[in-house]
Structure 1
Amino acid sequence: MPAQAAPGLRQRALDVLPGLTLTIAIAAAAFVLRQMPGVAVFSPMILAILIGIAFHNLVGTPAGAKAGVVFSLRRVLRLAIILLGLQLTAAQIVEVGAAGIAIIVATLVATFAFTVRLGRAMGVEPKLAELIAAGTSICGASAVIATNTVTRAPDEDVAYAVACVTVFGSIAMFAYPMLPALLGLDAHAYGLWAGASIHEIAQVVAASFQGGQAAGEFGTVAKLSRVMLLAPVVLSLGFLATRRAAKLGHDHAAAKAPVPWFVLGFIALVGINSVVSIPAEAKSVIVMATTFMLSVALAAMGLETDIRKLKAKGLRPLLLGLAAFIFIAGFSLTLIKLVG
């Protein structure tokens, strides 16, 4: 049996190789491009999807690359999300404190619910609204592509949602550092606000450290605690998708499909990272590898994105992303002021 299976595995590997090579090359280009002046404020993930979109729409994705692009979008993505667990520990969550965690959780839940409901009222497609809600309320592009494992929206919806969280997260990254004195926020409060409301981890780091070392460190920990909530959100969405499938009369197998088992791997690695001390050098390599794999996945997403289909969606999803951005900033700030 193994001898018979080997040729099939080799053939699948050969089928995957062209597309995987292409997505890896785009991710590498994103890392190189990020070294240029003025570009470093954007994460390699964002640059990767932009390069992928440009390549697909200007050059065209070769038909022979399809299998590897799909592999990058599924297998590589899931492995990267599992490895995200090694960036979090239970001790980091304790550092934020009960009040900080309560603010982060309340902000996430309120923002997600607000965005989905407003999207429904505005006539935005439900799956796209869920992706914008996840990207805004949790952790930007990573949350968008993780959520899509259960939402199963078209690739154009994913690209649109990533664009939304990139635009408004970038605005927050530049605007927040000008506001602490005006809003009467000390380093701790400012760091918590940045960590609880700005979209991407890289954007939080850039914005929070503008408020000083203490604000930067606390903002980063607050943001990582928020990333931890990616697991329960995706699991909950998978459960809701299962219920919806059952109500619509879909078969049992279809109803079970959305369960994101890779999230359990994410949770397991958080547990391991909480009890096992990983050397700083090894951890930095893991963080870099995780970011690279996420960039590979987003490069694949770009290679599957047709700009004409994005234009057809109009401005309503973008306005929804703006409303979600304003809501999460205002809601989290209000809670921080109330709690003191």
Structure 2
Amino acid sequence: MDLTAVYKKGLFIILSLFCLTHWVGPPLALLLGIVLAVTIGNTFEKKSIDNMASWLLKASVVGLGFGMNFNDAVEVGKDGLVFTIIFIVSTLGLGYFLAKKLSIDSKTSTLISSGTAICGGSAIAAIAPVIDANNRQISAALGTVFILNSVALFIFPFVGDLLHLSQTQFGYWAAFAIHDTSSVVGAAASYGSTALSVATSVKLGRALWILPLTFVASLVYKVKSNKISIPYFIFLFVGATLLNTFVPSISEITVWIVPLAKQGLTFTLFLIGSGLTIKVVKRVGFRPLIKATILWICITIGSLWVIIMFR
């Protein structure tokens, strides 16, 4: 019997259970996962962990929908639509410019820019088969998004408090400037319930832009592919908000669903953090990371300025 493997699995399970308690919030869960990854790692297959995190994130987001009002979510989504379009176009344009300056291959650049503009790993996973990206290019793009998401989850609530952003302002900022839905919802949840509602609604609306972006990418790269990923869980989220708004009797169930969804999100971030190993960081490469960081900083500062000025 491999005692080291047993020890690693045991520690992973103990930390997993700890992350399901009320003592652990999203930032701490992510930190525990990262510490586990860079110190002893875990013996569970990475693909299995990634799949579990993906499905749990979707289920958690749908669960959060049972705590939101449909009319409010639509109103927030409409308010953020113009900003969303501006930031997506700006991000893709700036990403193209940086790739030329840093001599990054077009497919890696497209994946990084798409992940930054839309919704992180989900956008990368949707775009990759359409442009026929190889494993190295996909790994580099996912790695950069992974690293910057982790940073964002820690610094955004701190900056929000420092600048005295309102709940609504922070929700918009997180939705526009953080890549993955998991980190957007995690950061917003740690800031407040209103921020969570705003960030989730705007972010999921932003995620729907995967579809037109995928279509445009297929035209640009002229790669024939039927592998277009549609984020169906967003429609389940909308269904959950509809039920919560127009079926009052469901409140007897939603009082249990929403807290479970928040705990599910926290555990998801632990799983995501456990995948951020030294190997992942090394696989990214210097120039893609520089491009992704500059792009993210520009979008972060630009969106913050717009939100403070107009919200």
Structure 2 length as normaliser, TM-score? 0.68
Q: Contact (CA 8 Å) 2:56, 2:264: kept in 1 or not? A: no
Instruction: Supply the distance in 2 between the matched residues of 1:26 and 1:47 (Cα, whole angstroms).
Output: 10
Instruction: Supply the distance in 2 between the matched residues of 1:106 and 1:237 (Cα, whole angstroms).
Output: 12
Counterpart residue type for residue 29 of structure 1: L
Please give the secondary structure, in 1, of the residue aligned with 2:27.
coil
Alpha-carbon spacing, 1:91–1:243, altered in 2? closer, same or farther (3 Å): same
Match of 2:132 in 1: none
Match of 1:105 in 2: 84
Does residue 91 (structure 1) correspond to residue 84 (structure 2)? The answer is: no
Q: Contact (CA 8 Å) 2:144, 2:288: kept in 1 or not? A: no
1:178-236 CA-partner distances (Å, limit 9, x unpaired): 224xxxx7x47644554444523332344xx4xxxxxx444322211222125413333
1:164 to 138, 148, 158: 148
Alpha-carbon spacing, 1:78–1:196, altered in 2? closer, same or farther (3 Å): closer
Counterpart residue type for residue 85 of structure 1: V
Alignment of 1:75-154 (within 5 A): 77-78=54-55, 80-88=57-65, 89=68, 90-96=70-76, 98=78, 100-102=79-81, 104-106=83-85, 108-121=87-100, 122-126=102-106, 128-130=108-110, 132-133=112-113, 136-137=116-117, 143-152=119-128, 153-154=137-138
Alpha-carbon spacing, 1:130–1:227, altered in 2? closer, same or farther (3 Å): farther
Q: Contact (CA 8 Å) 1:192, 1:222: kept in 2 or not? A: yes
Instruction: Supply the distance in 2 between the matched residues of 1:304 and 1:256 (Cα, whole angstroms).
Output: 34
State the percentage of identical aligned residues: 13
Match of 2:226 in 1: 256
Alpha-carbon spacing, 1:240–1:270, altered in 2? closer, same or farther (3 Å): same
Match of 1:69 in 2: 46
Match of 1:234 in 2: 210
Alpha-carbon spacing, 1:29–1:286, altered in 2? closer, same or farther (3 Å): same
Q: Contact (CA 8 Å) 1:191, 1:217: kept in 2 or not? A: no
Match of 1:11 in 2: none
Does residue 272 (structure 1) correspond to residue 244 (structure 2)? The answer is: no
Instruction: Supply the distance in 2 between the matched residues of 1:76 and 1:165 (Cα, whole angstroms).
Output: 15
1:29-79 CA-partner distances (Å, limit 9, x unpaired): 2674899x9x957252464255335445xxxx76xx5xx432332365245
Does residue 287 (structure 1) correspond to residue 271 (structure 2)? The answer is: no
Alpha-carbon spacing, 1:244–1:30, altered in 2? closer, same or farther (3 Å): farther
Q: How many residues align?
A: 281
Match of 2:181 in 1: none
Q: Which has the higher contact order (CA 8 A, sep 6+)?
A: 2
C-alpha RMSD of matched pairs (Å): 4.1
Instruction: Supply the distance in 1 between the matched residues of 2:38 and 2:108 (Cα, whole angstroms).
Output: 18
Instruction: Supply the distance in 2 between the matched residues of 1:191 and 1:198 (Cα, whole angstroms).
Output: 10
Give how far 1:282 is off: 2.0
1:220 to 196, 201, 211: 196
Instruction: Supply the distance in 2 between the matched residues of 1:47 and 1:167 (Cα, whole angstroms).
Output: 14
Structure 1 gaps, min length 5 = 1-18, 210-215
1:3-33 CA-partner distances (Å, limit 9, x unpaired): xxxxxxxxxxxxxxxx9x9789647526748
Q: Contact (CA 8 Å) 1:192, 1:219: kept in 2 or not? A: yes
Structure 2 gaps, min length 5 = 129-136, 179-183, 245-249
Q: Contact (CA 8 Å) 1:132, 1:165: kept in 2 or not? A: no
Instruction: Supply the distance in 2 between the matched residues of 1:131 and 1:27 (Cα, whole angstroms).
Output: 33
Give how far 1:288 is off: 1.9
Match of 1:320 in 2: 292
Q: Contact (CA 8 Å) 1:111, 1:328: kept in 2 or not? A: no
